[in-house]
Amino acid sequence: MTPNFYTPFSMESIPILDVSLNKYTAINLSFDNQELKGFDFEDLEECQNYIDKVLKNNNATVAYGGYLEQRNLYQCKSIFSGMGQPQRNIHLGLDFWCKAGTKVIAPLNGEVHSFRNNHATGDYGPTIILEHKNKSKVFYSLYGHLSVTSLIDLYKGKSFCKGDILGELGTPEENVNYAPHLHFQLINDIGDYIGDYPGVCAKEDLDFYSKNCPNPSLLLNLETC
Ligand SMILES: [Zn+2]
């Protein structure tokens, strides 16, 4: 049965999470959200409370958004601001905030390119990258903040069909210290990266990354926010 998605999904949208979670709402985690002024992003409970508030106010089960969003979220995490490097704070994927353990569904056919537990604080935690072929074009999709068990039994080249269960969302202990969510990102040219790819960039690099990492909403037929 086709899931009857709550707006902003259309009937033709491609599921990426357990289809029983069919009420989605947009969430704004950008600099310009006045509700987040003075917000402590290092406080996991404060983050989860804000997400829960957005979900409750919108009678939703999933809050999503964040493509090319400029965020304060990364200021407190050293992996996003190396010595002498510009601050990386523009988000290149689409985040889906919902409960740990939520099933992640492959949105299109593909095979495992690589996987890894990126366990440094503020990183992706358990991560899977799929490779997709569309006629002569090859591109990649990245799934971050999964559970540790999502990586069991994986191997390079393992096939997934559209609609297969790819994994599940990790807890803050696994994901690494974020409120549970899926980071979903598209990548045209992955270069030499294995099990990892930058999920945020500096303003100076936005032109390159925004072209190399197209808007995932377009692939999922999601209304952009
Ligand atoms: Zn993300």
Phi, psi angle pair for 14, to nearest 5° = -95, 120
Rounded to the nearest integer, the mean pLDDT of the chain is: 89
Q: Once rounded to an integer, what is the mean pLDDT over residues 171-197?
A: 96
Q: Separation of 95 CA from ligand 1 center, angstroms?
A: 5
Q: Separation of 169 CA from ligand 1 center, angstroms?
A: 13
Q: Separation of 123 CA from ligand 1 center, angstroms?
A: 10
Q: Separation of 144 CA from ligand 1 center, angstroms?
A: 8
pLDDT value at position 20?
86
Q: Separation of 24 CA from ligand 1 center, angstroms?
A: 17
More confident residue, 7 or 144: 144
Residue 72: count other Cβ atoms within 10 Å of its Cβ. Answer: 16
Percent of the chain residues past pLDDT 70, beyond the cut: 89
Q: Separation of 189 CA from ligand 1 center, angstroms?
A: 19
- Which fold, 24-224? Glucose Permease (Domain IIA) (2.70.70)
Helix intervals (H) in 97-205: 172-175
Query: Tokens for 40?
Result: 């402590």
Q: Separation of 10 CA from ligand 1 center, angstroms?
A: 23
Read off the pTM.
0.91
pLDDT value at position 6?
41
Distance from the Cα of residue 43 to its chain's centroid: 20
Dihedral of the alpha carbons of 30, 64, 142, 153, in degrees to the nearest 10? 140
Percent of the chain residues past pLDDT 90, beyond the cut: 71
Per-residue pLDDT band for 75 (boundaries 50, 70, 90) equals: low
Q: Separation of 174 CA from ligand 1 center, angstroms?
A: 15
Residue type, 222: L
Q: Do the strands 200-201 and 159-160 form a parallel or antiparallel pair, or are they unpaired?
A: unpaired
More confident residue, 136 or 85: 136
Q: Separation of 183 CA from ligand 1 center, angstroms?
A: 4
Contact between 62 and 23 under an 8 Å Cβ cutoff? The reply is yes
Q: How far apart are CA 205 and CA 80, in angstroms?
A: 14
Q: Separation of 93 CA from ligand 1 center, angstroms?
A: 5
Query: Tokens for 67?
Result: 């493509």
Q: Separation of 69 CA from ligand 1 center, angstroms?
A: 10
Residue type, 135: K
Which tens digits make up the pLDDT trace of 106-146? 999 999 999 999 998 889 999 999 999 988 899 999 999 99
Q: Separation of 157 CA from ligand 1 center, angstroms?
A: 25
pLDDT value at position 11?
53
Residue type, 87: Q
Beta bridge partners of 181: 97
Q: Residue 81 pLDDT more than 70?
A: no
